[in-house]
Chains A and B, each alone.
Chain A
Amino acid sequence: MPLRRTLTALACLSLILGIQPAHADALQDAGRLYRQGQQAQALEQVDRFLADKPKDAQARFLKGTILVDLGRNDEAKAIFTKLTEDYPELPEPYNNLAVIYAQQKQYDKAKQALEQAIRTHPAYATAHENLGDLYARLASQAYGKALQLDASNTSAQSKLALIKDLTTTATRPGSKPAIEPVKPVEPSKPTVTPPATPIAPPTPTVVATAPKPEVVKPAEPAKVEPPKPVVETKPEPKPEAKPEVKTADVSAEVTKVIEAWASAWERKDVKVYLAKYAKDFKVPGGGSRSAWETERHQRINKPGKISVDVDNIKVVADGAEQVTARFRQNYKSASLSSSTTKTLVLVKRDGKWLIQQERVGG
């Protein structure tokens, strides 16, 4: 492959000329400044570095990432696009390109870019999670059209996760040493359902059993109704409509439960962690409860520190005894750092809120 040869050649060249420490330092400085949130200075540094080494993939990647943070999406897009052309085997530029496309609501392009990222690197966890988020977002867009809902209301508008470091370059000669290999490690569960998964796991469903009230509506309005937020389109006098819940109280209760759950997970207290799940918890993928528990045991007890923090918890009451909570889950372990939208459905059993469903995405 000519590209690889070019890189190798460059590497040899720099060996012959002797690596100029100033250069390496400049790039490291830029990275440090960026991590400290000093984007403008970081950009200055990286530009200085690129003036000498305009082809350096690390530096270009860093510059693109800084530009995203600065909101200069079009410039960032150009950089990542060029990187995907120059290094089609790297997943990170595709991922970050997808993040930009998603921000610009070009979901189909975002999807293509993420699928490309996964094709180049099937185990790339962030890309999988981003793709999961993206599918959920595309789905909610389609649902919005199907049910005339305000799409922004139906899903958590989570930001896809930008990858900050170019790590997979480790696989090639002449590039920066690996920070750490990317492994198919613990995202809390598989986020992409294989295409051949049957659509219906054996779980009871609310939708099919809910009796449809034959609501007699007023005469056909001969006008186009503008799409309204979901809350307003609900017919008011439905007997099974959401009861008035003291939202603030419930929200506080549920937030506490989620924080306790995250904390048990973080300190690897599997017993407490599992106790947060309801007896009728819908095991993702429809497997058995005991197999799932065993798997959680193994994953959580893997060596190394775990950090789980949750923020931006939003609780919506689905009824007096059920709520849906969405939040950002930032997970870090020895091998993976991810930031995803998480949705938990909690039910009240004997006065305690317990997790009944868990999924990635809004």
Chain B
Amino acid sequence: MAWLHTWFGLALGLVLMVVFFFGSLSVFDREIDRWAIPDTRFEPQPMPSFDKMLTPIFKEMQPDAAARAMTAPLADGPLPATFDTPRSWGAYTTHRDPVLALFASYEVPNAKDHETAIWALRTVDPRTGELLPVDRLKIGSEFFYPLHYSLTLDWKNVGYWIVGFSALMMLMALVTGVIMHRKIFRELFTFRPNKSTQRSMLDLHNLTGVVALPFHFFFAFTGLVIFAYIYFPITHTQLTPLHDRHEVLESKETGLPHDRAGVAAPIASVDAMVAEAQRRWAAKGMAGDVGFLNLTHVGDANGYVSVYRAGTDRVQLAGEGIHFKAATGELLREDPPPTVVARINEFLTGLHLQHFKHWLLRWLYVLGGLSGAACIATGLFFFVEKRKRQHARQGVSGARVVDALAVTVVTGMLVATLSMLIANRLLPDAMPAGWPLRGAMEKYLFWASWAVAGVHAWWRTAAVAEGRLAPAWREQCLAIAVLAMTAPVLNWITTGDHLLHTIGSGYWPVAGADLFMLAGAALAVLAARKLQQRAARPLAVKNVTLEAGHA
């Protein structure tokens, strides 16, 4: 068990650092979007008029070049210049996001599989109907968040598989860790920083692992449940007949047509349907806002409009769907209360995806996520500490390699994150001709600065091969301190939103981001000082190697 925990923990721990850290940032992904796109720094708005504001935008939308590039290989011959048959129109709003996300899917007439669809997405200011410029990357929800669940490696879903496997290994590490650490209750509050580095790192590793054990277990587990359809695509391979049979039966049962009729039909007032849905929710004692609106079979006689309630007051995601016939507005179906199994599934996925409105719980989630990251990082530190003197004596470089990797994924990752936010403030609004778009530039700079941090990490961990503390740690902590102070200052200079203003007006998305970075800078300075003190200490004459798993 110890072998399994150590070696698979080490290998996948490097990936899990990324998953946990960016998962923690993703709790406030939409707030990070506000920081990155100053034009969207206004209060969240209710869903605007579908008929007056959204319908004209939907009618104009077309897939962008990236969507076309992704869909081209799935068609026989070239894609049409415009896509004229929309399959669905959807609008999504949350209590945290001032802007509205619109998405439309279209039939691909010459697709090899006739079920293939191509998507168009736009972001709208719901106060005015203005479209956000296409090239504003939502650094939180469109970069940090996908980085968390797929490492943004989309080719053949490779990133999803890597993250999925590391989640399974996280579960393994938790189980084997508990088996190894027998004194789980007796040492629950134990942290001895004044003892050897090995002892204090192991104490911290156990502490951060155990205090949030339910959190760590449930997040890894529910993450796997959410993407289980990717890892085990059984109902789209072996059991496709069963799946298709169910779809046909379900559309008969629900009265929601599965296919287009092929007969054109107008769309009645969606606003009236929304009002009716809200009236029905209120009548059931669960008045609420609209979270998600969807039109299926747009412009067809079989078209229907689905209105879902935003799930802000409980863990389960949007629900209580009410469906209307698109052409007439007549009620087709009110979704029945969910089954027990559906409620369990909605609870599990909902606790991970966090659509609820609860600021304390969100911050507690960040605490849990950072504890997980600390658990993984201290595991790496313990690994190196335990072996570096022995490796130095034997002339083996294992500990040095792991330390270099640890610097890269712990402090290097923070350097990359802050560098991207700084680039976000410094890049021009429109890149000059011939350059990649602004959003793409931000991503390139993220990866490039991480690579630079990695090179520095390799270079400045040479001391580990001699059994000493690597200067890379202190140097990258200092870099983080500088970067984490620069970003809020640049925010002030480029947008005028300094802390006195944002705190004074209570605009917490931006104030919170700035404060979080400044707190990080303070911690980085503290860490650099401690590392300097430790480096100045004479080397221990006798070194006791601790066995992980023995108290």
Is this pair of chains taken from one and the same complex?
no
Chain B interface residues toward A at CB < 8 A: none
Chain A interface residues toward B at CB < 8 A: none
